[in-house]
Amino acid sequence: MPANDALSFFMAWTLAPFRIGSVTPSSPSLAALITREIGPETGPVLELGPGTGPFTRALLERGVQERDLTLVEADPDFASLLTRRFPAARVVEMDAAGLRHLSLFDGPHAGAAVSGLPFRLISPRKSSAILEGVFANLRPGAALYQFTFGRRCPFDQTVLDRLDLEAVRIGSTFRNFPPATVYRVSRIKNLSTYDWRFS
């Protein structure tokens, strides 16, 4: 990780700790874990809260085309940095909750979404709005990949139930500060047989 990325991230965190959620950018280990099910066949990818771009770089290493990346970043300094670093990607400077009222594509189009947002610090109401917006932009069967510190799911079960979503833990890494866990969030395939209490 470039030293100036760590400094930029720390400065952003001191100004808005509840929006940034971490004092350092995500590690290469976490970036590899959260993107491991995504590849060139996935097609367009939506990324929320990319910050300095560790997940963005990992997506490119996985074979996703830069032009297939849509990066949603609320911090204007990070958005400007991302525009310089990834000129072929589409950078959208906005709060991710606005996705509920904005279609980024011509219908459900993205093959996956990756999120660096601190959902443990976001209210259930706003989390619900973000998830609604994300899944309105995802193709059927596509998933959102979300990390959290520790092992507990970052989404309230009431939010997942209301939106007919399920969250499955796909892995953890201690090679991140703090240690992190990644969840795959997707539409429940069979509502008649799915019971979240036993997942």
pLDDT value at residue 131: 98
pLDDT above 70: residue 5: no
pLDDT value at residue 148: 95
E strand or H helix at 78, and its extent?
A: helix 76-85
pLDDT value at residue 146: 98
pLDDT value at residue 195: 46
pLDDT above 80: residue 28: yes
DSSP characters for 10-69? HHHHHH-HHHH--SSPPPHHHHHHHTTT--GGG-SEEEE--TTSHHHHHHHHTT--GGGE
Structure-block tokens of residue 128: 């619900």
For 72-122, what is each residue's pLDDT tens digit? 999 999 999 999 999 999 999 999 999 999 889 887 799 999 999 999 999
pTM: 0.84
Backbone angles phi, psi at 63, to 5 degrees: 105, 0
Assign 196 a pLDDT band (cuts: 50, 70, 90). very low
Candidates 118, 137, 28; CA nearest to 75 is 118
Distance CA(191)–CA(44), nearest Å, equals 28
Helix (H, G, I), strand (E, B) or coil at 84: helix
Candidates 140, 14, 9; CA nearest to 78 is 9
For 143-174, what is each residue's pLDDT tens digit? 999 999 988 999 999 999 999 999 999 999 99
For 36-66, what is each residue's pLDDT tens digit? 999 999 999 999 999 999 999 999 999 999 9
Please give the residue that has the higher pLDDT: either 54 or 2.
54
pLDDT value at residue 189: 78
pLDDT value at residue 151: 87
Assign 7 a pLDDT band (cuts: 50, 70, 90). low
Backbone angles phi, psi at 125, to 5 degrees: -65, -45
Distance CA(25)–CA(30), nearest Å, equals 10
Number of neighbouring beta carbons within 10 Å of residue 3: 7
Assign 2 a pLDDT band (cuts: 50, 70, 90). low
